[in-house]
Structure 1
Amino acid sequence: MHPAHDPRSVRGTHCFHRGGPISTETRINERIRVPEVRLVGPNSEQVGIVRVEDALRLALEADLDLVEVAPNARPPVCKIMDYGKFKYEAAQKQRESRRNQQMTVIKEQKLRPKIDDHDYETKKGHVVRFLEAGSKVKVTIMFRGREQSRPELGYRLLQRLGADVSDFGFVETSAKQDGRNMTMVLAPHKGAKTRAKVTQVRETGPSDTDASGA
């Protein structure tokens, strides 16, 4: 039998590809038990519909894996790739995504539609500090009684606040009515938390540890 069609040669090369067993979450190599597949090459080139034996042979010749990327297609779509590298990069992206989600803190700042200038400046200062620290801010306008018939007051106030803090953040979610309240979400500009740390170091000087190590 030709070695490319020998399931033992494929199993020995690919199920323990590059030093360890491959996860069975996705069908790969000889686990792809269909007569033919729509094949995508290692450089994302469209090869077309081929027999699964031929697809396995091409993957083996390239020292790569045959990975089923669209099992519900007819025929299934398979791609020739380094599955170990693919899994590693996917795991890295998932960890980075979780880390970003954990780092994103949403603060809330509440205002009244007829707020006076002094209170507005105080509340705006809080919003600026939150944004500088890298946190998102949910701004809530609380309407009472007849104020609910004047939603334009809330819109104008939120637009004013968004413009006033534009150096520190941007409007991620525009103003919208939420029951008796009106809300808007502000997000910090990219790198805001890092800039805040740099500014703090400049203002306070190096830490005791840094000074002792100098």
Structure 2
Amino acid sequence: MELFQYLIMMKYWEVIVLGRTILSGKRNKNTIPVNLGRILIFCEGATEKYYLEYFADIIRKNKFNDIKVEIESANGNASRVFHFAEAFLEDENNNRKYHNYKKYLVFDCDAPPNIQKIILQMLSSNDKLELLISNYLFEVWLLMHFEDVETKMTKKEIYNRLSDHLKETYGKASQGIIREIIQNGSVEDAINNAEKLVNKYKVSGKDIKSNIGEMNPFSNMHFLIEQIMSVIS
């Protein structure tokens, strides 16, 4: 086999496998490859950006799929990332460039205190923003790569559980730690675990429009990640 062909084959294998992230039939769903299209994601912090850019780098920009990730700041909160997104899209050049992109906001629920009000403002935005929420922290979604997350935990407890799985102290996420979580954990399990929580709250009549304070733990990151996995698997 020629070297070029071999490298191509190995690159496709890396994309498909992603450690243990193959979406197998055990989800009892017919995973049909989809065209992800063009999406623009606004994140409140670096951890979310590292995570999403891991997948963006795999998909790469092409004729059919493109993921663009914007970050508000390393110390943002839900309100700040929302206003950042609004200002970004009010810019004439940005609005023209990303007019046909589907737009997402990725944020935690630890701040500000009036998070429910902020969520309602986001949902009523003229920019038609899709919300990807983690409560209490984005690390709840990361922990779902290793285990079911069914009970409310403090930030310290979440970090300690991640540290146990990573065999090193989890403090501030880096690109290396994110890569380790994705490759040594299971994206498929994270999707399943998040989906179970969403269904649990749905059965009890709770939703993000009215009850986010009661929905802890919670993450709906799987709404986007499942689409991404369908494209690359």
Same fold (TM over 0.5): no
Greater radius of gyration (CA): 1
Q: What TM-score results when the alignment is normalised by the length of structure 2?
A: 0.23
* Higher strand content, 1 or 2: 1
State the TM-score, normalizing by the size of structure 1: 0.24
Compare relative contact order (CA 8 Å, sep 6+) and give the higher one, 1 or 2: 2
